[in-house]
């Protein structure tokens, strides 16, 4: 019964993270269009925009931050292979649990700082120091969402690694996991 609950939890998190990651990837063509538009406006028509740089900066931040959990899900982050490849699967589980736990700790701090900055940005109407001067609260809100989602992905991974460490069998079969 516990195994079924943990499997359902992991599959649900996998689905949410996959949808967020792929959703964030749809922002990349928008970012490319904005940058291209600015280049054409600036160099062909000598009419630079006041908003393209700020908007592209925000979009890049959104893509990178929201894509972090998806990259974790796909195990695309950097790993120190010198030791990792030489140890047994149980030791790999321990390494993963330790590193994922440190990641959760760091992301909790990022979330708390992002929440403080979000509240400050709302209270004091923080704006980016540029000619367009867009508000900044949305950026801090996105940072809170992205750190929460990434932490949830890491917690999901800790559960999976811990299950494998204690039972010796995988929680999810490879064909059950999202591609």
Q: Taking the domains of the chain in order of start, what are their residue ranges?
A: 2-176
Q: What is the DSSP letter of 125?
A: T
Helix (H/G/I), strand (E/B), else coil: 54: helix
Backbone angles phi, psi at 127, to 5 degrees: -130, 155
- Structure tokens of 124? 């004091």
- Structure tokens of 156? 């999901």
What per-residue confidence (pLDDT) applies to 179? 47
pLDDT tens, N- to C-terminus, the chain (179 residues): 899 999 999 999 999 999 999 999 999 999 999 999 999 999 999 999 999 999 999 999 999 999 999 999 999 877 778 888 899 999 999 999 999 999 999 999 999 999 999 999 999 999 999 999 999 999 999 999 999 999 999 999 999 999 999 999 999 987 444 44
What per-residue confidence (pLDDT) applies to 77? 78
- In Å, what is the CA distance from 124 to each residue of 57, 117, 137, 161? 22, 10, 10, 44
């Amino acid at each position: 019964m516990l195994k079924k609950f943990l499997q359902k939890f992991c599959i649900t998190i996998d689905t949410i993270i996959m949808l967020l990651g792929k959703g964030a990837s749809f922002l990349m063509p928008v970012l490319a269009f904005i940058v291209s538009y600015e280049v054409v406006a600036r160099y062909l028509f000598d009419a630079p925009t006041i908003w393209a740089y700020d908007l592209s900066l925000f979009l890049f931040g959104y893509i990178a931050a929201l894509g972090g959990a998806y990259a974790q899900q796909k195990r695309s982050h950097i790993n120190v292979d010198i030791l990792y490849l030489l140890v047994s699967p149980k030791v790999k589980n321990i390494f993963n649990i330790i590193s994922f736990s440190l990641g959760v700790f760091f992301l909790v701090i990022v979330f708390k700082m992002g929440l403080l900055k979000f509240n400050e940005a709302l209270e004091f109407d923080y704006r980016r120091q540029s000619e367009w001067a867009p508000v900044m609260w949305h950026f801090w809100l996105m940072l809170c969402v992205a750190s929460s989602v990434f932490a949830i992905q890491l917690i999901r991974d800790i559960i999976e690694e811990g299950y494998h460490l204690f039972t010796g069998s995988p929680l999810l079969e490879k064909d059950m996991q999202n591609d």
